[in-house]
Amino acid sequence: MTQAPAPAQHARPSHLPPLTRFLKSTELDTRMLGLVGALLLIWIAFHVLSGGLFLTPRNLWNLSVQSSSVAIMATGMVLVIVTRNIDLSIGSMLGFIGMIMGVTQADLLPKLLGFEHPATWVLTLAVGLVLGVILGAFQGFVIAYLGIPSFIVTLGGLLVWRGAAWWVTSGQTVAPLDSTFKLMGGGPEGSIGATWSWVVGLVVCVAAVLLLAHGRAQRKKFHFPLRPMTAEVFLGGVACALVLAAVAIVNAYPRPIGSVRRYAEANHIALPEGGLFISHGIAIPVLIAIGVGVAMTFLSTRTRFGRYV
């Protein structure tokens, strides 16, 4: 008596549609591609509705700066969410810590060190980091050791830290800001210019190619299936193209006239009749966000703590 062969669970690679074979060879996440496609459609819709103002170097540069603080907070929220918890207080905590840092560098430190002291921005940043660790550890202790649900604790934190942010300054403007401290917030002077932006872009491209090569070597070492070389070249080429395109966009956004005039006066440059084009380049907050993202990626994927989480 012969037994009928079991039905095939998966189609053979050669029988798959070309697009499916391509995605399988590159190992790209189709869900991520769907999200990217939806984001592109939203951008195009905004560009049309805004009369062609959305997808411009100026707006994209501003969006990158405004999104940097959100991106930094998101790296920490990943670790919270994967543990099936939530933090509703993170925005209010950001505001409270920001107010503390503003008062520290505009009111407290000048009384001790004077205005524009070289250590002002370092001490202010240290105060913000330490305070953030203390507040986060306090809420984490209440959740983990007292057994109170994270939703309740962080909802209370949302209200408390929001009120505390107003209490610190009573709604008054915090000024003047230290010139070096302001660089962390972006602005015309808070960017690295065209030349260094291209340098950063090329470094990122080289890093992407080296990571692909290292990953292929590790797969070969442990006898894991290898991606086709064409897929490796495609991934490296797309990564480099996206990075260099982003650099070209931020370099296409010129600094405002007032900033250019101050730069020309400081460097004894005569302004030509048509004006002087000086690129913003990559904003410092964006570089900080990228650095934090790389560090958190290493923490979550290459350390014992990250594996446990």
* Structure confidence at residue 169 (pLDDT): 87
Tokens of 118: 């070289």
**CA-to-CA separations, 285 to 62, 267, 291, 305, in angstroms, rounded:** 11, 25, 10, 27
SS3 for 172-232 is: CCCCCCCHHHHHHHCCCCCECHHHHHHHHHHHHHHHHHHHHHHHHHHHHHCCCCCCCHHHH
* Structure confidence at residue 14 (pLDDT): 57
* Structure confidence at residue 3 (pLDDT): 55
Q: In tens digits, what is the pLDDT along the chain, a chain of 309 residues? A: 555 554 444 444 556 777 777 778 888 888 888 999 999 999 999 999 999 999 999 999 999 999 999 999 999 999 999 989 999 999 999 999 999 999 999 989 998 888 888 899 999 999 999 999 999 999 999 999 999 999 999 999 999 999 999 999 888 888 888 888 888 888 778 899 899 999 999 999 999 999 999 999 998 999 888 888 888 999 999 999 999 999 999 999 998 888 888 878 887 887 787 778 889 999 999 999 999 999 999 999 989 999 898
* Structure confidence at residue 8 (pLDDT): 43
* Structure confidence at residue 9 (pLDDT): 44
* Structure confidence at residue 288 (pLDDT): 95
* Structure confidence at residue 181 (pLDDT): 87
* Structure confidence at residue 2 (pLDDT): 52
Each residue of 87-102: b (16+ CB within 10 Å) or e? bbbbebbbbbbbbbbb
